[in-house]
Amino acid sequence: MLLGLGIVLGFAGIGFLCWLLFLCAVYAAPLFVAAMVSTILYDHGVLSGAHAALAGIAAGIMVLACGQTILASSRDPALRASVSLLLALPAALAGFGTTLGFCGMGEMGVVPGYLFATFGALCVGGSAWTRLCAIQPA
C-alpha cells in the first residue's frame, strides 16, 4: 500500500516539477541575467551583497520589460523571431539541466541520459519559444 502511494506521489511530484518548468521557462532569460549581474557585481567588489542583488533584480526586470516591449510592439517577423530565440535559449539550457537531473535520479546510462536531456531541452525551449511567439503586436 505504502509502496504504491510512494510511486504515485513520486510521479505526481515529477509531473508537477515538469509543469512548473514549462510554465516558468519564459522567465529563464531574465532570471539568468539577474543572477549573472549580481554575481559579477559582487565578485568584483563593485557592490555589497544586498546592493548587488538589487542591481541584478533591476537588470532582470529590464530584460523582461525590453523583451516584452519588443515582442508586443514590433511587426517585423525577423526581429520578433530573433528576440524570441534569444529569450528561449536559456529556457532550453534549463530544460537540458532539469532533464539530465531527472535522468540522474534513475539508473540511466550516460549516452541515453544525454540523448533524453537533449530531447528535454528541445521540448522546453520549443515551448518557451512558442509562448513568446504567441505575443501579438498591438
61 assigned to some structural domain = yes
7, pLDDT greater than 90: no
Average pLDDT, the chain: 87
Question: E strands along the chain, which residues?
Answer: none
119 assigned to some structural domain = yes
9 assigned to some structural domain = no
Q: State the total domains in the chain.
A: 1
Average pLDDT over residues 48-60: 92
121 assigned to some structural domain = yes
pLDDT above 90: percentage of residues in the chain: 27
38 assigned to some structural domain = yes
48, pLDDT greater than 80: yes
Domain span at 126: 26-133
20 assigned to some structural domain = no
C-alpha span between 27 and 116 (Å, rounded): 23
